[in-house]
Amino acid sequence: MNKKVMMMLLAIMACLASCCYTFANETGGNPSDTKYNICLVLDGTDRLSTQNGVPQISADELVEFARSLSEKGGGYLYVTYIDKDVDNNAVAYFEWLEDAPRSLGTKPGYMKVSEYQRLKAENEAKMDAYRANLAKAIDEFSSESAAIVKAAYSDAVAKEKRGSDVTGAVNQASHLLRSSDVSGPSYIVLVSDGCDNVGKEPAPLAPDTKLIIVSSNVTKHPFGDVVLKEYVNFRQVKSYFFK
């Protein structure tokens, strides 16, 4: 075999190897560097007030928020609520760290049909498993978040005098976020006017923990520069995280 033919064969082999590598990468997972770490705090303590400007969040909105989180990188989502003493309040929890399998793409010309069909079947099985796992996680979170919403917007909470343990709720949210294994910022989304009338001592927030307040009223919160954003509705919060 002369030198010219040998070089042509090596070039063809290199090309095939490159194509195989590219196709294999296309069929692999898509790990994301973005892992969200968010705690939503609901406040129904002034729900019966004519001056209440705090939006009421439905269980369906919470489920849709969790679904968006799973689609945009995954991570951790906690949901709790404010009453006269949040220390023993239940917490809804959603965790999603799986990456969706990528689509297989069209069959490369160099690949046998039988091999492509085998890879396609494997990929479809992975996608089915991914969807089933996500549906189970969403369903469990749906039940938990519905219970939180029911408690947060109950008459018992709304009628309680001096029943806004806002500082305690922020302290609890900070504690929950610290339990997550993520790098980067964490977020407390306080769906409240931020007015505390219980008087617990505030715990310092971690430097990478940001606070977002959601209320259509002019808020009178004591958090100062700790507040990253102030929104008037929950749609703006979702847009901020999942543009």
Q: Which two tokens stand for residue 231?
A: 């929104």
Judged against a pLDDT cut of 70, whether residue 181 lies above it is answered with: yes
Torsion of CA 164, 79, 60, 31, to 10 degrees: 150
Query: What's the length of the chain?
Result: 243
- Give the pLDDT score at 217: 78
Percent of the chain past pLDDT 90, that is, above it, reads 59
Query: What is the mean pLDDT of the segment spanning 57-74?
Result: 96
Q: In this predicted model, which residue has the larger pLDDT, 56 or 223? A: 56
- Give the pLDDT score at 128: 92
Instruction: Identify residue 144 by its one-letter amino acid code.
Output: E
Beta strand spans in the chain (E): 36-43, 75-82, 92-96, 186-191, 209-214, 227-231
Q: pLDDT digit string (tens) for 16-26?
A: 444 443 444 33
Q: Phi-psi category of 194—alpha, beta or left, where left has phi over 0 and alpha has psi -120 to 50?
A: left
- Please, what is the end-to-end C-alpha distance for the chain in angstroms? 59
Q: Model's pTM, two decimal places?
A: 0.82
- Give the pLDDT score at 187: 98
- Burial letters for 200-236: b for 16+ Cβ neighbours within 10 Å, e otherwise? beeeebeeebbbbbbbeeebebebeebbeebbeebee
Mean of the per-residue pLDDT values of the chain: 86
Q: Which domains does the chain have, with CATH numbers?
A: 36-99+130-241 (3.40.50)
Angle value at C-alpha 79, between 78 and 85, nearest 5 degrees: 120
Which 3-state string (H, E, C) describes 174-209? Answer: HHHHHCCCCCCCEEEEEECCCCCCCCCCCCCCCCCE
Judged against a pLDDT cut of 60, whether residue 70 lies above it is answered with: yes
Q: Which of 243, 237, 177 is nearest to 213 (CA)?
A: 237
Judged against a pLDDT cut of 80, whether residue 219 lies above it is answered with: no
SS3 24: helix
Instruction: Identify residue 135 by its one-letter amino acid code.
Output: A
Query: What is the mean pLDDT of the segment spanning 183-190?
Result: 94
Give the confidence band of 42 by pLDDT, cuts at 50, 70, 90. very high
DSSP state of 108: P
